[in-house]
Amino acid sequence: MVSFHCASAMSAFSCSLFVVASLFCGAYFISSGFFTKGYSEVSSSSINIGNLVVKFRDCQDGEVINMLQSSKSATCKVRCRPPGSEALPQGIIVKTSNLEMRPLWSDTVKPGNLGPSANLLAIAVGIKQKEIVDRIIKKFPARDFVVMLFHYDGVVDEWRDLEWSDQAIHLSAVNQTKWWFAKRFLHPDIVAEYKYIFLWDEDLGVDFEKLCTSLYLSIIEDEGLEISQPALDPVKSDVHHQITARKRNSRLHRRIYKFKGSGRCDSHSTAPPCIGWVEMMAPVFSRAAWRCAWYMIQNDLIHAWGLDMQLGYCAQGDRMKNVGVVDAQYIVHLGLPTLGGRRNFT
Ligand SMILES: *[C@@H]1O[C@H](CO)[C@@H](O)[C@H](O)[C@H]1NC(C)=O
């Protein structure tokens, strides 16, 4: 019995390479007469080739590996394909999508506004926070960001007068939190083209010219932060966890030192929230970290309590290195009672 295991982080391409490589080893069996002609599919998870049962499991995102065995030669073609697409000709399959809007009538296919390193800002909003949200979004230049608004109060039309409104994607579902929206509308295959995903609450102050999103992006890229957040101005913010407070004269920090109280943090600490931790009001995920985190969002998750402590699983390696709080670019957490955020419920 041979098992192929396509680890979840592999792309379909590397997945298929992996299986092809495995089959080169398999050629040994073929030449020794282990195979007989043809194969029969036993189920979506295993294929019989002569006496050999090839079992498939955990192919990326439920993909099934299709094996096309040529009976004449020992060469074979193996591909990872999304379930349901097996009957389609090669090359016609588009596995992922994006949120880019397309012109209705256009003779030529125009490239979109966004470059290959486009990012996504998704933010849960209510009309009461219109002014704050307007200020936040103006910090996210359209050339670098696609903007998606989750309207939890059902009010969409009253945003139309803002100049960026027609370029933004508006989703409306009454009384749902940003985690509900994110699970349903930010599937990793839909947002696969975005380098970083900002999943923010609306009660964030950015009005004092202290946040430059392009500098923020260059810092997290440079420092290899897979999960990050901008630090909170400790004077003006509603700070709940000391690790999120801005440190002066610092580019970013990954750990805190705290000797008072119950939650002691020192240079030996290896666990969140002393090190490698961000709060859920303004997280920024790399593409890979989001692909991981999306799976952790339970369908009944509302406030994301507890999710923050689990995010280290998605750090793409060492959470003590890959998770951090950016001090050089910081925001104010206003702590307003909003539905998108969590204050409403505490
Ligand atoms: C949404 O929540 C508000 C506040 O709790 C409530 O008054 C309203 O009835 C809810 N609306 C729906 C459609 O559930």
Nearest CA, atom 6, ligand 1: 175
- Tell me the whole-structure pTM to 2 decimals: 0.76
User: Omega before 273 cis (within 30°)?
Assistant: yes
Average of per-residue pLDDT across 172-184? 95
pLDDT at 205: 80
Is the pLDDT score of 71 beyond 90? Answer: no
What is the C-alpha to C-alpha distance for residues 109 and 194, in angstroms, rounded to an integer? 21
In 206-221, which positions are buried (b, 16+ CB within 10 angstroms) versus exposed (e)?
A: beeebbebeebbebbe
Homologous superfamily, domain 119-333: Spore Coat Polysaccharide Biosynthesis Protein SpsA; Chain A (3.90.550.10)
Whether 80 has a pLDDT exceeding 50, the answer reads: yes
* Nearest by Cα to 224 from 191, 196, 266: 196
- Cβ of 174 below 6 Å from ligand 1: yes
**Of residues 38 and 44, which shows the higher confidence score?**
44
Residue with tokens 């390479």: 17
Q: Which of 127, 155, 174, 177 to mutate to test the pocket of ligand 1 (most atoms within 8 A of CB)?
A: 174
DSSP string across 277-316: ---TTS-EEEHHHHHHHHHHS-TT-SS-TTHHHHGGGGSS
The residue nearest atom 10 of ligand 1, judged by CA position, is 175
Better-predicted residue by pLDDT, 74 or 285: 285
Ligand 1 center from residue 152 Cα (angstroms): 10
pLDDT digits (tens, 9 = 90+) for 247-305: 999 999 999 998 776 678 888 899 888 999 999 999 999 999 999 999 999 888 887 77
CA distance 72 to 259: 72
User: Domain locations in the chain?
Assistant: 12-86, 119-333
Helix, strand, coil content of the chain in percent (nearest 5) = 25, 25, 50
Cα separation, 171 vs 318, in Å, equals: 35
Q: Is the pLDDT of residue 343 over 50?
A: no
User: Tens of pLDDT along 112-141?
Assistant: 555 666 999 999 999 999 999 999 999 999
Question: Is 70 close to ligand 1, i.e. is its CB under 6 Å away?
Answer: no
User: Would you give the end-to-end CA distance of the chain in angstroms?
Assistant: 54
Percent of the chain at pLDDT > 90 equals: 47
Give 134: exposed, middle or buried? Use CB within 10 Å, 0-12, 13-18, 19+. Answer: middle
